[in-house]
């Protein structure tokens, strides 16, 4: 009798002990390992991994103030640089989420991409020139001082974002996903799609939406405050790539903005034909574009 | 030994009496009504359809992707999963063989024609106050206008002896005593109409009223205890406090409430989780008069003592973020992941992205919904007026530490004030989300 009590007691203590041990060692659920992109060399061989850095990491940088200023300029361009921005647009209107997303005009490879010969300019373009191209076309405004604090701050943000990936290497992301450019746009269908899928944010008349301070929430897609005819986004197929892969946001339960994946290639091309060809500001220096020919088929002039 | 025998005898007698009483309730507690209903009357059918919408029968009695009212949606309980039944008029597998008395007794008393007691997953405790005229209309609708579907009911996964149904009779005797609707004291007929809908068909209390140990709602009407619609947690969602007080609805106008009920969105907030389904399947179809009645009744629910006011504190967040001061704990994470939609001023974009400033879901006493929607994401309802069902993507890829800091920042930014969210809170919700039940019976298992 006493022996069986003893055995029962020992068994009980052993069970309690192992239960306590199990509770103590059980992993607390936390975030999965960070997602990463391949880093490719010139021959497209993977030579490492790139993890999109958290913004908190900026605080640890020696030039943290400059990087944060650049980040703010990219996000709040129209408010912070009213003399340079003519349109009701911010850089991040097209470069979604501070340029950290694949297929949404990221800034991750930007520093490493320039200088390069661009067909539209017909000559070598450096990063400052490229940024100022955006200010004159997409932002329908005036160029920044190439040596100024603002230009340096924007580039400092992009420099931080590349996380030391060497100049000749690339992070394996794209500016925009593909659409089938053999498809013929139907702007009448585009108008219907615009009303159903775009107008809730960009307005029934393409006027966009502003907040309590008058700052832009959703940019106007046509009219005097939209991007001018010289912008890449004024081209049907280029706009369609963005529309298909990056628009609308807040449609999925995953992805950083839940963006894209709503329209077919045809629908994206139809709606892009519709809104890009609505009235918008002209771009006088357009006469200098594509000096060596090779104009894309959706060029506007 | 003698004592043991006596105790055993007493126990068996109690069990026998318990069973006997349970078996007898169909005869005295829930006697069957005898009434003829003209199920071919088109007006009655149309009214029944509207009322079935108001009751949101389709939400539980339809499996995701399944035929309407054919059942199969699973409801998780601590003992196992209960599957909603086929309530199409199929005579073999549905309710096609029910006469009016059978239908009435199932809906209002929780009793099947064969004398089996229904689980309180069915909201009969709420439906008791529904008028005879409304039950008749719904009977006409279900019998004449719902498409019959032959689909066997899925048995529960609750093991024996917990699967015995007769003890449910005692639950009904204790917590679902028959009662008639009593209109609250008010000169406004809309308040009475609102109370009738909220307590009855709309069964708002099923999610929004706290439940007791026996799964009973602690109040089935506004009984002076202040517990009715005071907020409750179900499946990791906090169904918010709907009383006209601090973290309830005191900051909402009647008009904002009506807009929310009809579209699942307004300038302040957006529906997600189960409420998104309620708007999509039920509330968007209700008339303006009924939605206004619901809103006015909710706004008439008196605050509990000491909980009248909710005043925002001074907003220092908007100016700091607009000036580029991201030094507050959690602010940089907010700037990185949230501002693109919820904006520097925490106001979002009206009817597209919900505001965080002044949004009582954000600073609710219980942060469960905020945590769950941030981890797993959420989707607004798609309605006739607003076909774009915007989502919030999930942020489970952020660490518990970042998320806790971020949510504490949000709950205390822009004038909000609420308790901090801890890393343990986030970890707990990750577990809850990982163990979510599959909400339908796999067709293969049928």
Tens digit of each residue's pLDDT (9 = 90 or more) over B106-116: 999 999 999 99
d(CA B70, CA B148): 8
- 3 state SS for chain A: CHHHHHHHHHHHHHHHHHHHHHHHHCCCCCCCCCCCEEEECCCCCEEEEECCCCHHHHHHCCCHHHHHHHHHHHHCHHHHCCCCCCCCCCHHHCCHHHHCCCCCCCCCCHHHHCCEEECCCCEEECHHHHHHHHHHCCCCCCCCCCCCHHHHHHHHHHHHHCCCCCCCCEECCCCCCCCCCCCCCCHHHHHHHHHHHHHHHHCCCCCCEECCCCCEEECCCCCCCCCCCCCHHHCHHHHHHHHHHHCCCCCCCCCCCCCCCCCCHHHHHHHHHHHHCCCCCCCHHHHHCCCCCCCCCCCCC
Percent over 70 (pLDDT), chain B: 98
Residue A289 to chain B, least CA–CA distance (Å): 33
Helix (H, G, I), strand (E, B) or coil at B311: coil
CATH number, position B111 = 1.10.760
| Identity of the highest mean pLDDT range in A268-282, B148-162, B172-186 | A268-282
pLDDT of residue A150: 98
Report the pLDDT averaged over residues B391-409. 97
Residues in chain A: 301
Q: Does domain A37-171 have CATH number 1.20.1270.30?
A: no
Is-contact A41 A171, C-beta < 8 A? no
Residues B45 and B148 in one domain: yes
Same domain, residue pair B204 and B144: no
Full residue range of the structural domain in which residue B133 is found: 40-155
In a domain, residue B49? The reply is yes
Q: Spell out the residues 6+ positions from residue A81 whose beta carbon is closer than 8 angstroms to its own.
A: A73, A144, A150
CA distances from B206 to A172, A202, B202, B216 (A): 50, 39, 9, 9
Residues B247 and B342 in one domain: no
Q: Are residues B327 and B226 in the same domain?
A: no
* Statement to judge: residues B221 and B287 lie in one domain: yes
- Among B353, B379, B397, the residue with its CB nearest the CB of A253 is B379
Amino acid B444: pLDDT = 41
**Tens digit of pLDDT per residue, chain A (301 long)?**
567 777 777 777 777 777 776 666 678 899 998 889 999 999 999 999 999 999 999 999 999 999 999 999 999 999 999 999 999 999 999 999 999 999 999 999 999 999 999 999 999 999 999 999 999 999 999 999 999 999 999 999 999 999 999 999 999 999 999 999 999 999 999 999 999 999 999 999 999 999 999 999 999 999 999 999 999 999 999 999 999 999 999 999 998 999 999 999 999 999 999 999 999 999 999 999 999 988 999 999 9
Q: Is residue B361 part of a domain?
A: yes
Locate A169 and state its tokens: 């290497």
Do B205 and B150 belong together in one domain? no
pLDDT score at B305? 86
Across chain B, mean pLDDT equals 92
For the domain that residue B402 is a member of, what is the CATH number? Answer: 1.10.760.10
Average pLDDT over residues B55-73: 91
B268 is a domain residue: yes
CA dist B202 and B57 (Å) reads 10
Residue B445: per-residue pLDDT: 44
Domain segments of chain A: what residues?
37-171, 187-288
Mark yes or no for CB contact B352/A253 under 8 Å. no
Q: In terms of domains, do B282 and B385 share one? A: no
In this prediction the ipTM stands at 0.92
Chain A hits for B344, CB-CB cut-off 8 Å, are 76
Same-domain pairing of B281 and B229: yes
Q: How many CB atoms lie within 10 A of CB B435?
A: 9
| pLDDT for B446 beyond 50 | no
Determine the residue of chain A that is closest to B376 in CA distance: A253
Q: pLDDT by residue (tens digit) across A111-134? A: 999 999 999 999 999 999 999 999
Task: Quote the CATH superfamily of domain A187-288.
Answer: Cytochrome c-like domain (1.10.760.10)
Predicted confidence at residue A25, as pLDDT, reads: 63
Chain B residue closest in CA terms to A100: B336
Name the domain boundary from B104, B130, B155: B155
Q: What is d(CA A74, CA A159) in angstroms, rounded to the nearest whole number?
A: 14
Cβ-Cβ contacts under 8 Å, B325 against chain A: none
B351 assigned to some structural domain? yes
In a shared domain, residues B331 and B285: no
Distance between B24 CA and the closest CA of chain A, angstroms: 46
Alpha-carbon span A52 to A31, nearest angstrom? 15
B255 located within any domain? yes
Q: Is residue B19 part of a domain?
A: no
Minimum Cα–Cα distance from B401: chain A residue: A30
Number of domains in chain B: 3
Name which of A98, A192, A250, A262 to mutate to probe chain B: the one with the most chain B Cβ atoms within 10 A of its Cβ: A250
In this structure, the answer to whether residues B137 and B222 fall within a common structural domain is no
In this prediction, residue B130 carries a pLDDT of 97
Which residues in chain B are contacts of A260 at CB distance < 8 A? none
Residue B79 within any structural domain of the chain: yes
Judged against a pLDDT cut of 60, whether residue B442 lies above it is answered with no
Residues of A with CB under 8 A from a CB of B: 28-32, 34-35, 54-56, 58-59, 68-69, 72, 75-76, 92, 96-98, 196-197, 200-201, 209, 211-213, 217-218, 248-258
| B160 occurs within a structural domain | no
């Amino acid at each position: 009798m006493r022996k069986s009590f003893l055995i029962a007691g020992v068994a009980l203590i052993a069970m309690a002990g192992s239960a306590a041990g199990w509770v103590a060692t059980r992993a607390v659920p936390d975030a999965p390992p960070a997602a990463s992109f391949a880093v490719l060399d010139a021959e497209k061989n993977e030579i490492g991994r790139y993890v999109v850095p958290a913004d908190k990491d900026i605080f640890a940088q020696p030039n943290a103030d400059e990087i944060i200023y650049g980040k703010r300029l990219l996000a709040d361009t129209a408010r912070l640089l009213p003399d340079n921005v003519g349109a009701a647009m911010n850089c991040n209107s097209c470069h979604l989420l501070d340029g950290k997303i694949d297929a949404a005009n990221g800034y991750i490879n930007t520093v490493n991409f320039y200088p390069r010969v661009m067909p539209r300019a017909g000559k070598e373009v450096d990063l400052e020139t490229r940024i100022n191209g955006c200010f004159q076309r997409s932002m329908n405004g005036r160029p920044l001082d190439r040596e100024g604090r603002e230009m340096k701050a924007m580039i400092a943000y992009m420099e931080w974002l590349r996380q030391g990936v060497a100049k000749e290497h690339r992070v394996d992301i794209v500016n925009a996903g593909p659409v089938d450019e053999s498809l013929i746009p139907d702007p009448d269908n585009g108008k219907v799609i615009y009303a159903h899928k775009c107008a809730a944010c960009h307005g029934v008349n393409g006027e966009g939406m502003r907040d309590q301070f008058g700052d832009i929430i959703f940019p106007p897609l046509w009219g005097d405050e939209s991007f001018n005819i010289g912008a890449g986004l004024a081209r049907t197929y280029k706009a369609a790539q963005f529309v298909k892969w990056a628009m609308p946001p807040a449609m999925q339960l995953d992805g950083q903005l839940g963006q894209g994946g709503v329209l077919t290639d045809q629908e994206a091309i139809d709606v892009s034909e519709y809104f890009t060809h609505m009235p918008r500001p002209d771009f006088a220096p357009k006469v200098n574009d594509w000096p060596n020919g090779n104009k894309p088929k959706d060029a506007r002039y | 030994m003698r004592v043991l025998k006596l105790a055993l005898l007493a126990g068996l007698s109690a069990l026998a009496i318990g069973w006997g009483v349970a078996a007898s309730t169909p005869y005295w507690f829930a006697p069957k009504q005898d009434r003829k209903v003209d199920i071919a009357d088109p007006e009655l059918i149309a009214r029944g359809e509207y009322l079935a919408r108001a009751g949101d029968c389709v939400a539980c009695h339809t499996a995701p992707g399944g035929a309407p009212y054919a059942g199969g949606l699973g409801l998780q309980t601590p003992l196992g999963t209960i599957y909603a039944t086929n309530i199409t008029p199929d005579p073999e597998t549905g309710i096609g063989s029910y006469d009016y008395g059978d239908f009435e007794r199932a809906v209002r008393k929780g009793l099947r024609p064969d004398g089996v007691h229904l689980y309180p997953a069915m909201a009969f405790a709420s439906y008791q106050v529904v008028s005879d005229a409304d039950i008749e209309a719904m009977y006409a609708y279900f019998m004449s206008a719902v498409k019959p579907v032959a689909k066997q009911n899925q048995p529960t996964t609750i093991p024996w002896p917990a699967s015995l149904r007769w003890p449910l009779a005692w639950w009904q005797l204790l917590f679902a005593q028959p009662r008639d609707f009593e209109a609250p004291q008010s000169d406004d007929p809309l308040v009475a109409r609102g109370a009738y809908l909220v307590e009855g068909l709309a069964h708002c209390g099923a999610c929004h009223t706290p439940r007791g140990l026996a799964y009973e709602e602690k109040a089935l009407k506004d009984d002076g205890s202040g517990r009715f619609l005071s907020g409750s947690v179900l499946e990791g969602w906090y169904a918010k406090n709907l009383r006209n007080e601090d973290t309830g609805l005191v900051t909402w106008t009647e008009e904002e409430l009506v807009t929310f009920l009809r579209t699942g969105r307004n300038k302040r907030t957006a529906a997600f989780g189960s409420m998104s389904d309620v708007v999509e399947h039920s509330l968007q179809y209700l008339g303006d008069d009924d939605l206004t009645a619901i809103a006015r009744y909710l706004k008439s629910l008196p605050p509990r003592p000491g909980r009248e006011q909710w005043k925002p504190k001074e907003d220092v967040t908007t100016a700091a973020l607009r000036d580029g001061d991201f030094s507050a704990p959690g602010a940089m994470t907010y700037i990185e992941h949230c501002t693109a939609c919820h904006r520097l001023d925490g106001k979002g974009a009206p009817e597209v992205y919900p505001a965080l400033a002044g949004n009582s879901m954000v600073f609710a006493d219980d942060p469960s919904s905020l945590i769950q929607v941030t981890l797993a994401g959420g989707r607004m309802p798609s309605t006739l007026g607003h076909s774009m069902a915007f989502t919030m993507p999930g942020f489970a890829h952020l660490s518990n530490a970042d998320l806790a800091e971020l949510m504490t920042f949000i709950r205390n930014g822009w004038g909000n004030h609420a308790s901090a969210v801890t890393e343990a809170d986030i970890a707990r919700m990750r577990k809850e989300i990982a163990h979510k039940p599959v909400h339908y019976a796999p067709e293969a298992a049928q």
